[in-house]
Structure 1
Amino acid sequence: MRLRITFEPYGDVARQPNKHAVQGFIYNLLKGSEYGERHDEPRFKFFTFSDFFTDSTGRPTLLVSSPEKGFINTLYSAIREKKSVYIGRQELEIVELKKFKLPLRRAFQTGSPIVLYRNAEKNEYFKLHQHRDLRFFLQRLKENAEKKYEAFYGEDFFLEGPIFDRLIPKLRTNGKLDVYVKVVKNGIPFPVIGSNWELLEKERIKPEERRFYRFIMDAGLGEKNSLGFGFLNPLRR
């Protein structure tokens, strides 16, 4: 399930908010609800959000997705009565709020970079441009998704074959494949490295796999989903 929030910036055009500030904005909306302790729970958070983008009128827009309907409903109820909000130091007027559910597709496009660790103990991220190992990327992506799915539904699951059959990475203007995102937490900046994709496609989704692919569509792919990474948009093909 998804929540779409469209804003009108006060003063200057809105800047791309720091992802930690957006995460804090979401957690503040959850205070006092059954999800109010989600930030401190030692578990997967089961939500993600997109990078800010502009709608057809040029207004900054944010998408939040989660496989938990109650999570999205709680955010919706918390924000629907507000006229404006702060994300970091930016004050933004809320001009439109909509919750919705998208149909499952065989193809997806990233709405924020996918992040994977090559070596988590050394805090080393997988770099597509440097490591050039799609087999590693697909296998780690699959293992991470299966683990989150099992934690959410409380049942074992194994996906036969690769998680995607066709992949088209999105090149940056400088010709690089990797995206370096500076995240600031408690005044301390640290880089997060990921990759964006024009296409992630599964040729055929079996009936018994539909719930798994719907889950990753809503929960996000890879690491650091609750920090706004791995957001997926379904595509018509």
Structure 2
Amino acid sequence: MWRALEGSKFDREHDNGHPLGLAFSNIFPWGEIRAGDRRSVLFASPREDLLATIARDLQQDRAFNIGEMSFEVDELSQLSVDVGEPGTRGVIETATGVVVRILPEHRERYGIETDYDTATYWRPEHTIRPFKEAIQANLQHKHDRFAHEYQDGPTDVDGDLFEGYDLLKTYALPVTVTTGTTIDLLLSKWRFDYRVRSDSHRRHLNLALDTGLGGRNGLGFGFSNIVEKTAPSESQLEGADALT
């Protein structure tokens, strides 16, 4: 992915401390791979020119290597993903782990005690509140970068981003962040229930799909997918119109 961005305006944003606005999946379907098997990868971003830059490079250079696995790009296709209009219910699942760090200045707020001064990775014993507030604040930062100034962000409105938070698992993973530098990340995987409350909430949920949840999205973490979606009934739409 970063090879595709070399020499472009996006290359200058690598490791600048701000979200690039890109999320990407693992290869799927997962499982044993033999020569000749086909797999897919999803890239998501609110920046169409960024996706176009990656697509052009993949069209010119079809080699796509992941670790020691060598692939060749066979086809590129464009997808349109949307959580749905107000009233829609659904489930979003994190396809890759979510990275949430609680800064030292915030630990006292949550009653988290540690013996070190660096940021603390979220874990279940910290309760759900710091996780919810962290991913919402992180999404607000991405909103401030990529959305229009006149639009309200996720922390500017009432209500949680999701209605339900179902933790699937937490796990530690050694990750090479730069050449020669490996750190241990504590990750969590989730299923989130949502009900689209308004057009603003719809934008926030779609932004989460486009940019990834939590941090370290440039390393592939926080990518999410809609796994269930139920459109609102006509009576629900009429009620929403009346409220509007």
What TM-score comes out, normalization by structure 2 length? Answer: 0.74
2-structure distance, mates of 1:39, 1:228 = 14
2-structure distance, mates of 1:83, 1:154 = 35
Q: SS at 2:3's partner residue?
A: helix
1:169 aligned partner: 167
2:237 aligned partner: none
2:76 to 75, 97, 103: 97
Give yes or no for the alignment of 1:235 onto 2:235: no
| Deviating 4+ runs (over 4 angstroms) | 55-58
2-structure distance, mates of 1:101, 1:110 = 18
**CA deviation digits over 1:160-188, x for unaligned, max 9?**
11111112222xxxxxx212222123233
Give yes or no for the alignment of 1:144 onto 2:144: no
2:109 aligned partner: none
Give yes or no for the alignment of 1:30 onto 2:24: no
2:187 aligned partner: 194
Are the aligned partners of 1:146 and 1:159 in contact in 2 as well (CA < 8 Å)? no
1-structure distance, mates of 2:15, 2:216 = 15
**CA deviation digits over 1:96-151, x for unaligned, max 9?**
322222122443111111110023661321112x43x0122112211111122122
2:19 aligned partner: 44
Q: SS at 1:135's partner residue?
A: helix
1-structure distance, mates of 2:204, 2:102 = 24
Give yes or no for the alignment of 1:226 onto 2:218: yes
**Which of the two has greater strand per residue?**
1
1-structure distance, mates of 2:130, 2:17 = 27
1-structure distance, mates of 2:19, 2:45 = 12
RMSD: 2.4
* Letter paired with 1:54: P
Percent identity of paired positions between Structure 1 and Structure 2: 24
Give yes or no for the alignment of 1:123 onto 2:107: no
Give yes or no for the alignment of 1:84 onto 2:67: no
What TM-score comes out, normalization by structure 1 length? Answer: 0.76
Q: Which runs of 5+ in 2 are unaligned?
A: 85-89, 105-116, 230-244
Are the aligned partners of 2:94 and 2:223 in contact in 1 as well (CA < 8 Å)? yes
2-structure distance, mates of 1:37, 1:88 = 24
**CA deviation digits over 1:197-226, x for unaligned, max 9?**
1x2122233123222221111011111111
- Aligned pair count reads 203
Q: Which has the larger displacement, 89-98 or 214-223?
A: 89-98
User: Structure 1 52/191 Cα, relative in aligned 2: closer, same or farther at 3 Å?
Assistant: farther
Rg bigger for which structure?
Answer: 2
2-structure distance, mates of 1:167, 1:192 = 21
Q: SS at 2:74's partner residue?
A: strand
User: Structure 1 62/179 Cα, relative in aligned 2: closer, same or farther at 3 Å?
Assistant: farther
2-structure distance, mates of 1:42, 1:64 = 21
2-structure distance, mates of 1:43, 1:117 = 15
1-structure distance, mates of 2:181, 2:223 = 24
